[in-house]
Chains A and B, each alone.
Chain A
Amino acid sequence: MSLQKERSSVLQTTRKINELIMGHFSRAWDVKTQSKPIAWITVFTPVELLYALDVYPISPEHFGAMCSARGLVLDYLEQAEMGGYSENLCSYSRCGLGYTISGMNGLMPPPDILITFRNSCDVYVKWWQSLHAHLGTPLFLGEAPYVLTGADLGNYVLDYVVKQLEQLIKVIEEKFGLKFDMEKLVQTVKLSDKSSDLWLETLKLRRSKPCPLGGRDSASDIFPLVVMQGTDESVKFYEALFKEVKEKVDKKEGVIENERFRLLFDGIWLWHALDLIKYFEDKGAVFVYEPYSEAWAYRLDASKPLESIARKILAMGLNLDIDLRIESFLDSIKEFQVDAAVLFSNRSCKSWSAPQLVTADILSKEFNIPYLLFEADMADPRQYSEAQIKNRIDAFLEVLGEA
């Protein structure tokens, strides 16, 4: 069986993702030729606002994941390393910087503005400042404070982020001679909310036994939520997806025939080694819940559009206090009938990996959920040892089977 086949999705709707992604990038080049502004954004920068302003968003992180999944990432990583960036830096940032240094002749058109909202990721600011240093493109640095309690999603912390969004609108209006239209934002917020709602409802269907949607699909299905939030296309995609998954549930069709173990996956996927998901499935283990997949959806209130998207920036999982995060984790364990957890300690993402042992301890001590923790990198295939990881997976599943 070829590698391509091993990675391939199970659902018909997921197969349309490729077309959607390619459409997103080729439209970016159309936009560029029409001299409309392109923004390079970090994820969780509100794309709803950018679409409403007629600024086209491109995410270098998404680009990094995609290059890694398609085996195209090494060139860019090496370009960055030849340029002096350390191999120990985040692989998404190295990929984006390598792409920039090597002349930006691929899927991402050069940016007209660089926008980031630092929320969970400390690399964002320095990465975007480095891009700014390389390109000289205008830079907007937003900041979302760490959310310590649920109250921060409604108090001065929220106000602070709203003010920055207003400032961002002003910057874009002045730089590109565009006019902000609240009605347009209300529309994109409605569409974004609809996509999130549909995706969350789809994820809930994974509580069924057998699980109708596994990691091979969820790893791809998130992309419209990353860069296409607030578009019709995104809504259509999630409508079709929900319908297909619902049918599977009604027909009691699962990802795998013989569901032995229902697993939680904690971390960003290993884009260069997505075939690992199939490896688990062939041994009767299906991923039913990933905090990562859930993280992309956030319900918005179209009657308070700016406040709503400010809250979305703040409430991103890793930006939440660890107790708040664990709470939602634990609820899901019960709802999704999770038997065991797989924790991917990601060399690139310290904010994700650092608290993993705390989570693991709670899982095993309070919920008697065994876990497997392994180390690799999300996008850099050189930091991955296939035989060793498969060896651990085999041992883990065999021990689970004996329990």
Chain B
Amino acid sequence: MYVGIDAGASATKAVIVNKDGEIVSYAIVPSGINFKASSEGALTKALKLSDLSLEGLLYTVSTGYGRALVNAKSTSSEIICISRGIHKLFPLVRTIIDVGGQDSKAIRIAEDGRVLDFVMNDKCAAGTGRFLEVMSNILEKPIEELSKLHFKSSKPIKISSTCTVFAESEVISQISQGSEIEDVIAGLHEAVAERIYNMSSRIRFEKDVALTGGVAKNQGFVDALSKKIKLTPTLPEEPQIICAYGAALAAIKRHQEGVG
């Protein structure tokens, strides 16, 4: 068996695959501040789910912000891992939008899965999961509820600030002026979607488009982005583990090639 571990800014993901690249089990745990602990936690959980032990693992590749802190044979960048993961699952995809906790990315890939071009957000948090986390705190609504409330909105409010800190005060003033919370939430989803659309437009946008990363689990955001890009993106069953899955696929390849 082979393992990919994605130590991301918000969550750490471990995926175990067999030699054919089929997912055997996976686990997602919060990253906290200790990537070593979170990666061990995620792996232990994934092993338990598949009734495997450490001895059965042939090769581990780590990726994500904390990749250097994970106990793995080698590392790979998220861009390559996401592309590998998506290409294996959806060979027709040419553009991937990944929205994670701290980063968002748009990647264009070739027919054979090679990366042709990519862009990432600038260092600002707007357009990432962090933005929505901050807002969910202010609105005192858990992230899971944002999606439900989004679909109750009839007239989303336009959030004009792209800065997280400014948007925070904008949201507070909207609420204090009596705006409906669902309209504010839908407005926030639109703001993130717009930000990501602007960033992604710097690469050539080709069909099919896939959406990955933790934020892709928020149906409200997916709805806002689909409207913005005028396409229905391909959504993996569990969009949050694609990067770790790609790392696991890299582990198979590197083990065969005798890397590390």
- On A, residues with C-beta under 8 Å from B are 364, 370, 374-376, 384-385, 387-389, 391-392, 394-395, 398-399, 402-403
Q: Are B123 and A402 in contact (CB under 8 A)?
A: no
In the complex, what residues of B have CB within 8 A of residue A384's CB? 123
- Select the residue from A387, A399, A403 with max chain B CB neighbours within 10 A: A399
Q: In the assembled complex, how far is the CB of residue B138 from the closest CB belonging to chain A, in whole angstroms?
A: 23
A-B contact count (CB 8 A): 39
A399 touching B65 in the complex, CB below 8 Å, given contacts A375-B123, A388-B103, A392-B120: no
Q: In the assembled complex, how far is the CB of residue A234 from the closest CB belonging to chain B, in whole angstroms?
A: 38
Q: Are A402 and B65 in contact (CB under 8 A)?
A: no
- On B, residues with C-beta under 8 Å from A are 65, 76-80, 102-103, 114-115, 117-118, 120, 122-123
Name the residue of chain B whose CB is nearest to the CB of A400: B115
Q: In the assembled complex, how far is the CB of residue A47 from the closest CB belonging to chain B, in whole angstroms?
A: 36
Q: Are B79 and A375 in contact (CB under 8 A)?
A: no
Q: Are B79 and A398 in contact (CB under 8 A)?
A: yes
Q: Are B114 and A398 in contact (CB under 8 A)?
A: no
Q: In the assembled complex, how far is the CB of residue B129 from the closest CB belonging to chain A, in whole angstroms?
A: 14
Q: In the assembled complex, how far is the CB of residue B67 from the closest CB belonging to chain A, in whole angstroms?
A: 9
Q: Are B123 and A399 in contact (CB under 8 A)?
A: no
How far is A370 from B117 in the complex, measured between Cα atoms in Å?
Answer: 8
Q: In the assembled complex, how far is the CB of residue B212 from the closest CB belonging to chain A, in whole angstroms?
A: 15
A399 touching B115 in the complex, CB below 8 Å, given contacts A375-B123, A391-B65: yes
Q: In the assembled complex, how far is the CB of residue A23 from the closest CB belonging to chain B, in whole angstroms?
A: 38
In the complex, what residues of A have CB within 8 A of residue B118's CB? 395, 399
In the complex, what residues of A have CB within 8 A of residue B76's CB? 398
How far is A384 from B117 in the complex, measured between Cα atoms in Å?
Answer: 24
Q: In the assembled complex, how far is the CB of residue B244 from the closest CB belonging to chain A, in whole angstroms?
A: 16
Q: Are A403 and B114 in contact (CB under 8 A)?
A: yes
Q: In the assembled complex, how far is the CB of residue B80 from the closest CB belonging to chain A, in whole angstroms?
A: 5
Name the residue of chain A whose CB is nearest to the CB of B80: A398
Q: Are A395 and B80 in contact (CB under 8 A)?
A: yes
Q: Are B122 and A375 in contact (CB under 8 A)?
A: yes
In the complex, what residues of B have CB within 8 A of residue A392's CB? 120
How far is A385 from B9 in the complex, measured between Cα atoms in Å?
Answer: 14
Q: Are B79 and A388 in contact (CB under 8 A)?
A: no
Q: Are A402 and B80 in contact (CB under 8 A)?
A: yes
A395 touching B65 in the complex, CB below 8 Å, given contacts A375-B122, A385-B123, A388-B123: no
Q: In the assembled complex, how far is the CB of residue B227 from the closest CB belonging to chain A, in whole angstroms?
A: 27
Partner of A395, one of B79, B102, B114, B122: B79
Q: Are A402 and B115 in contact (CB under 8 A)?
A: yes
Q: In the assembled complex, how far is the CB of residue A220 from the closest CB belonging to chain B, in whole angstroms?
A: 27
Name the residue of chain B whose CB is nearest to the CB of A364: B117
Q: In the assembled complex, how far is the CB of residue A364 from the closest CB belonging to chain B, in whole angstroms?
A: 8
In the complex, what residues of B have CB within 8 A of residue A387's CB? 65
Name the residue of chain A whose CB is nearest to the CB of B115: A399
A399 touching B103 in the complex, CB below 8 Å, given contacts A375-B123, A385-B123: no
Q: Are A402 and B114 in contact (CB under 8 A)?
A: yes
How far is A403 from B114 in the complex, measured between Cα atoms in Å?
Answer: 8
A395 touching B78 in the complex, CB below 8 Å, given contacts A387-B65, A388-B103, A403-B114: yes
How far is A376 from B115 in the complex, measured between Cα atoms in Å?
Answer: 25
How far is A388 from B65 in the complex, measured between Cα atoms in Å?
Answer: 8
